[in-house]
Amino acid sequence: MRIQLPPDRQIKQAKYKLHCSWQLKHLLRGYEHIVKQRLQQSADLVSFILELKTVLELGLKRSSECIAIPPPQYYSQLISEMETLGWDMLLFIDTEFQTLKLKAEDSSGRQHILTIKFKSKHPAEAPECSADLPIPLAITWTPQSTLQQLHKQFMLVLESLTEFWDVLDEIDNQTWILEPEKPSRCDTMRRIAIGNNVSIKVELDPRHPKMLPECCLLGAEHVVTPLRNKLNSNMHLWNPNSSVLHNLRDVLKIKFPSPATHEKSDFSVECGICYSYRLEAAIPDQVCNDPRCGQPFHQACLYEWLRALPSSRQSFNIVFGECPYCSKSIDIQKT
């Protein structure tokens, strides 16, 4: 390191430039501004050198923490375990050989990914395993456990969920899903279009996917009420051996619009206030109850709109006002 002092030997004005070995440069990476600051704040060279020593010690400690290279046997073990499992199962490995992504196919042919992150105290410490699942991934680990055993445990978890995914795949393929926008394997909720501005939200239990799910009908009252009555009076018809979609058809006595019969745009009617369909993640799920109007709005848009009008009335967190389209009474709850 070269420190150039001005003629008056005032260290505060000193120019500092790093001329040093790459090891020192590497150690000081990210600490340059601190070195500069210490140089300007030090009373003399001696106190600066002491400050520099502290900075270097800190850098040394940090670098020894992040470059904890595992022993050679870690790599040979990993390679031999990958050979047993099959290299074709490996989708990704990072340059440190610490994070792996393994592929897995369930009995219905769906592709899944198991991410394994080995910890610094591997194999004493269990690796961190994660996957796109609707339930927590519980993995049993001992220091003798292998990749193949991890993969096998993952496959068992996948098998326990095949019925859940079969039920959801049928719904996803044969109906129009309004929410989530792009369902992933961990999603247990589906909002299924029934008609224009009418939908049903179902929440499945991944452990008991064919049981009657939690259902919530959304839309204008005059359409939702008869459907809700059918749901309540036909609930006893629910057959746990049949799929959720079949049961919903039987209980509600309806045919769900499907990609084969309808366009998605038939159901994604934009909000009457902001003129868009998606507002962040929300879709326009508040509908004017007047059968001749039926205009949908985002909850947030309608709430703000009504609250801003002097003719509206607020009671607790509900605002009562008029539909911006047909002037019939409409109310909205703040979430």
Interface residues toward Zn ion, by CB under 5 A:
271, 273-274, 279, 288, 290, 293, 295, 298, 301, 323, 325-326
CB of 281 to Zn ion, least distance (A): 13
CB of 228 to Zn ion, least distance (A): 21
Helix H or strand E encompassing 244: helix 244-252
> What residue ranges in 148-211 does DSSP mark as E strands?
177-179, 189-195, 198-203
CB of 102 to Zn ion, least distance (A): 43
Report helix, strand or coil for 147: helix
Complex with Zn ion: residue 52 or 302, whichever CB lies closer: 302
CB of 195 to Zn ion, least distance (A): 17
CB of 326 to Zn ion, least distance (A): 3
Question: Which residue matches tokens 């993995």?
Answer: 139
Report helix, strand or coil for 187: coil
CB of 317 to Zn ion, least distance (A): 19
Complex with Zn ion: residue 42 or 299, whichever CB lies closer: 299
- Do residues 297 and 326 make contact, with C-beta atoms less than 8 angstroms apart? no
- Do residues 119 and 126 make contact, with C-beta atoms less than 8 angstroms apart? yes
Q: DSSP of 19-83, one letter per residue?
A: ---HHHHHHTTT-HHHHHHHHHH-SSHHHHHHHHHHHHHHHHHHHHHHT-PPPHHHHHHHHHHHH
Complex with Zn ion: residue 56 or 293, whichever CB lies closer: 293
Complex with Zn ion: residue 101 or 278, whichever CB lies closer: 278
Complex with Zn ion: residue 245 or 300, whichever CB lies closer: 300
Cross-strand partners of 117: 99, 128
Complex with Zn ion: residue 137 or 293, whichever CB lies closer: 293
